[in-house]
Each structure stands twice: as C-alpha cells, then as structure tokens.
Amino acid sequence: MRSPILDYLDRAIEQTAHVAPGAPADYIPELASADPQRIAVAMSTINGTVYASGDADHHFTIQSISKPFVYAQAIEERGLEDVLARIGVEPSGEAFNELSLDPDTGMPRNPMINAGAIATHALLSHGARPADERILELFSQLAEREIEIDEAVAASEAASAHRNLGLAHLLRAAGALDQEPQDAVDGYIRQCAASVTVRDLALMAATLANGGVQPNTGERLFSRTTTRHLLGVMTSCGMYDAAGDWLTTVGIPAKSGVAGGIVGVLPGQLGIAVFSPGLDAHGNSSRGVAMMQHLSEELHLHLM
C-alpha cells in the first residue's frame, strides 16, 4: 500500500512551483550548468525506511553538507576538547565563505563556515590514509552504499579555489592550521565533491536523528554526546546568516550545500533531505528552503 508520507512529499514539490528557482552557484564553474528545474525530496525514519519523491536518484555534490559529518568524525578521532581548542561553536552571522576569523582567538568561529570546515578537515589529516579517503568511507557507511567523488566538480573547484586558499593561509598564519594550506584545501574540496542523492542524505541525516547509529546496519558511527553537540552546532550555524530565519520558520537542525542540497534532522524521528540547484542570496537552495518550510508546517516538525 502506498504510504501517506509519499503524498506529503509530492505536495512539498508541487507547492514550490510558484517559488522562483534562483540561479545555481557559478563560482564553481562545473555547478553552473545544473538544471534549475530539477527537484527532489526524501525522508528516512530512524528505522531506516526511506520515502522519496521527484528526482530522487539524481546525483549532485554534497558540498557543505559534508561539514557536519566530518566535524563529528573529527570529534570522534581527536576528542571534543581538542576540537574545541581549534574551532569555535558560535554563529558568525556572516556568509559561508567570509574571510574572517574570531579577532580575539584567531580561530574559525564555527565548523559550518568554510574557515572552520577547512580547519576541521585538517584535523583528520593524520595517520597512513589520506583524510578524504577516510571521509568517503564514513559517508559510505552513513549512506549504506559506496559514495564516490565527482572528479569533474572537484577539479573545477580546485581550479578556482582562491578564496578558500586565502582562508587557509589566514588560518595557517593564526596558528589554527597544522597542514600546508594547499593540502588542506585540496582535501576539503574533495570532501565537498562527494556525489550523493537525496536518498543518501536522508539516511545520513537519519543516523544523526538516531543518536549516531546508522538505522539499517546498526553501526554506531558517532557517540550520543558527539551527535548532540553536532546538532546544537547545526541548529545555530548550519544555515549561515539565514540561521535565525530558518530556526523561526522550519525549526530543526539543518545544513545546506551550494549544489542545492539541504538536510534536516528531527531528533528521535526523521532525517530529511531536499534538492534543487537554484540558490538564494545566502547560498541556500531557494526551492529547498520552501520545501522544508512546507514540510515543517504540514508535519509539525518545528521543535519549538
């Protein structure tokens, strides 16, 4: 029998017809050619059942949605204290790629903006295997299938990464980066170029909703404490300088990416993922935000 959840997902897509899609990101040339009419939504329960509608098997790059998962991995590997000594947890109120660090500490303000995410990536650069390889393994465990890098997007971003390189040099000068700036940015760009679908992202988000345990494999990927800490950071910093708007209208921890994906986590219940490549002024998917607002209202997801 068809689940009523699918009707909710279909309606979430239908109601975006009046929302201007916006333009795909063009500072990464390979993303500029994305079709703004593509749209998808998926939802996973904490039992691992995934429901999806629209272009649910279309692949796009994870981009900044990688940041929360890699941050949790860094906490697991290095310990919370070590990570907090390097990267703050306060919202910056600035754009995701702002060239700024906390003037008092010289540290990135949080791990969701690029400065913090480059520093986080570098924290995983130890041991015999490259960080991006171990990160792909984590994404594959979260999504329950082998996740690969979109090499064309990675190369395209690497060829125009001046801003992120600038940030990495600032971090290095402030003593907040142990790695060479070029190496940290190269690895971070590969992390962002992991190729996913909304189904993958819904399962990844459901793992966070499930306290760090992948719902289908039963594998604990993050401790409960790490997961709770991460959800706090996603709540305050995940939507950048639109975090206040998001928290009042949608009201759940979330993270967006410039390829057009957004994930949301309803603790103890659901992982949600939406995709549409056109962006708003904050770099968040315009129709993605509209779908999340619709679902939050229809299904009473708002935590407050």
Q: Which residues are annotated as a binding site for substrate?
A: 64, 114, 157, 164, 188, 240, 258
Please give the structure tokens belonging to residue 104: 């008092």
CA distance 219 to 111: 25
Q: Which of 97, 140, 236, 269 binds ligand DON (CB under 6 A)?
A: 97
Contact, 70 vs 103, CB < 8 A?
no
**Helix or strand (DSSP H, E) at 45:** strand 40-45
CA distance 93 to 243: 8
Write down the least CB distance from residue 257 to ligand DON, Å.
Answer: 4
Contact letters (x/-) for ligand DON, 275-304, by CB under 6 A?
Answer: --------xx--------------------
Question: Is position 120 an interface residue for ligand DON (rule: CB under 6 A)?
Answer: no
CA distance 8 to 4: 7
CA distance 271 to 124: 26
Instruction: Select the span of 6-14, 79-87, 253-261, 286-294 touching ligand DON (CB under 6 A).
Output: 253-261
Q: Which of 60, 96, 246, 275 binds ligand DON (CB under 6 A)?
A: 96
Which one, 215 or 261, has the nearer CB to ligand DON? 261
Question: Is position 76 an interface residue for ligand DON (rule: CB under 6 A)?
Answer: no
293's CB contacts (< 8 A; 6+ apart) are: 249, 250
Contact positions toward ligand DON, by CB under 6 A? 63-64, 96-97, 114, 157, 164, 192, 256-258, 283-284
